[in-house]
């Protein structure tokens, strides 16, 4: 079971991959990223363009171009990627998708789901993009399904 949309999954995995591959400088191309995270290249290109426009990753065009992460972006929380791609419904939305669900008018799952939702938000707000580079370099983590 995934809690993120497929687009968001690809975005997070791609950002981790780019951070890992460009940790010592340089850039990484779309083909390498798509292969590295097992993602459709054209779909991923659109995702990365959007993340670049929103300032979460950087890119250069041309023969020596590619994607990279600015050092300051390594300290950004994962919640910024989730919100850039999927919005904030994971952090504030109803488990049943009801628009009127609230503290005053709760759905049957409201209280239990709110606790889970708050834990996910805390995790993604306190986990940074650059946090896993050492583990990725040492092969302790994988970005492939």
Sequence-ordered list of residues with C-beta below 8 angstroms from that of 105, at least 6 positions apart, any chain: none
- For residue 114, give its domain range: 6-137
The overall pTM is greater than 0.75: yes
Residue 144 lies in a domain: no
* Mean pLDDT to the nearest integer, 64-91: 92
Mean pLDDT score of the chain, rounded to an integer?
Answer: 90
Residue 52 lies in a domain: yes
Residue 143 lies in a domain: no
pLDDT confidence tier of residue 43, bands split at 50, 70 and 90 = very high
Pair 67, 52: CB distance under 8 Å:
yes
Q: Quick check: 132 pLDDT over 80?
A: no
Residue 10: CATH number of its domain = 1.10.10.10
Q: How many domains does the chain have?
A: 1
Residue 78 lies in a domain: yes
Residue 31 lies in a domain: yes
How far apart (Å, rounded) are the C-alpha atoms in residues 57 and 19?
A: 9
Can you give the three-state secondary structure of the chain, one letter per residue? CCCCCHHHHHHHHHHHHHHHHCCCCCCECHHHHHHHHCCCHHHHHHHHHHHHHCCCCEEECCCCCEEECCHHHHHCEHHHHHHHHHCCHHHHCCCCCCCCCCCCCCCCCHHHHHHHHHHHHHHHHHCEHHHHHHHHHCCCCCCCC
Residue 33 lies in a domain: yes
Residue 1 lies in a domain: no
């Amino acid at each position: 079971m995934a809690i993120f949309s497929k687009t968001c999954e690809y975005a997070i995995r791609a950002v981790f991959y780019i951070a890992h591959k460009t940790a010592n400088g340089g850039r990484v191309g779309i083909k390498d990223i798509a292969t590295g995270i097992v993602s459709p290249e054209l779909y991923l290109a659109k995702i990365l363009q959007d993340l670049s426009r929103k300032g979460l990753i950087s890119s250069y065009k041309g023969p020596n171009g590619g994607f990279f992460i600015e050092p300051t972006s390594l300290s950004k929380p994962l919640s910024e990627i989730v919100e850039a791609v999927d919005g904030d419904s994971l952090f504030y939305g109803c488990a049943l998708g009801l628009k009127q669900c609230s503290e005053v008018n709760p759905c049957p799952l409201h209280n239990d789901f709110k606790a889970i939702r708050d834990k996910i938000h805390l995790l993604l707000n306190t986990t940074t993009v650059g946090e896993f580079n050492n583990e990725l370099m040492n092969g302790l983590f994988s970005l492939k399904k």
